[in-house]
């Protein structure tokens, strides 16, 4: 009996400490591989024309609110450490069927920055922000749609400007 007890003690000592860290639960694989943003800025197409890519997650369609193909987007700029709107495109107020991006598909947009007579954008770091981007779309009840979180609707910062009205 004494040798069995000694063998058991030696076996337990050889095992080393057990990992008592709780297992991670509730993190679906798709969420773990989801990008930091669904918007990526591309090299500009001209001094006033920006290009950006919108990509739907692999497991989720996206619905972009629009009016005859024009949608709400803009530029944000850091002010006192916070990203604030710097410019937003003007669009009509109609409500067309949404632009649909099926799961895992991308679409490149080429959009002009047009400034009003008193507007200007100084040379700085900006990021593109998409507005009216949803993961659900119910045409009869716009308020019931689930908007994509703001952090996923913005690009990484990039240098842009200066820009003044023509």
**Interval 82-137: pLDDT, tens:** 999 999 999 998 889 999 999 999 999 999 999 999 999 999 999 999 999 999 98
Domain contains 23 = no
Domain of 135? 34-160
Q: Which helix (H) or strand (E) element contains residue 62?
A: strand 62-64
Domain contains 7 = no
Q: Alpha-carbon distance 147 to 153, whole Å?
A: 10
Domain contains 26 = no
Q: Alpha-carbon distance 65 to 96, whole Å?
A: 7
**Interval 13-46: pLDDT, tens:** 333 333 333 333 333 334 445 568 999 999 988 8
Q: Which two tokens stand for residue 139?
A: 């045409």
Q: The domain that contains 131 carries what CATH number?
A: 2.60.40
Domain contains 56 = yes
- Read off the pTM: 0.76
Helix (H), strand (E) counts: the chain: 2, 12
* Domain count across the chain: 1
Q: Alpha-carbon distance 44 to 67, whole Å?
A: 24
Whether a cis peptide bond, with omega within 30° of 0, leads into 162 is yes
**Interval 141-155: pLDDT, tens:** 666 789 999 999 999
Band (12; pLDDT cuts 50, 70, 90): very low
pLDDT at 95: 86
Domain contains 27 = no
Q: Alpha-carbon distance 139 to 127, whole Å?
A: 29
Domain contains 21 = no
Domain contains 166 = no
Judge whether residue 52 has pLDDT over 70.
Answer: yes
Q: Alpha-carbon distance 136 to 158, whole Å?
A: 30
pLDDT at 142: 66
3 state DSSP class of 114: coil
Q: Alpha-carbon distance 163 to 145, whole Å?
A: 35
């Amino acid at each position: 009996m004494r040798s069995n007890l000694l063998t058991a003690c030696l076996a337990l000592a050889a095992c080393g400490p057990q990992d008592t860290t709780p297992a991670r639960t509730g993190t679906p694989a798709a969420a773990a591989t989801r990008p930091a943003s669904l918007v990526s800025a591309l090299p500009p197409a001209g001094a006033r024309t920006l290009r950006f890519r919108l990509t739907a997650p692999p497991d989720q369609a996206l619905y972009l609110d629009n009016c005859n193909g024009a949608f709400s987007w803009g530029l944000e700029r850091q002010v006192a450490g916070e990203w604030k709107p710097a410019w937003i495109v003007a669009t009509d107020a109609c409500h067309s069927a949404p632009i649909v991006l099926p799961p895992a598909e991308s679409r490149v947009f080429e959009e002009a920055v047009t400034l009003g007579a008193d507007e200007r954008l100084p040379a700085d770091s900006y990021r593109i922000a998409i507005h009216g981007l949803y993961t659900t779309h119910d045409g009869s009840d716009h308020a019931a749609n689930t908007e994509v979180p703001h952090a996923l609707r913005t690009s990484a910062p990039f240098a842009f400007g200066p820009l003044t009205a023509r």
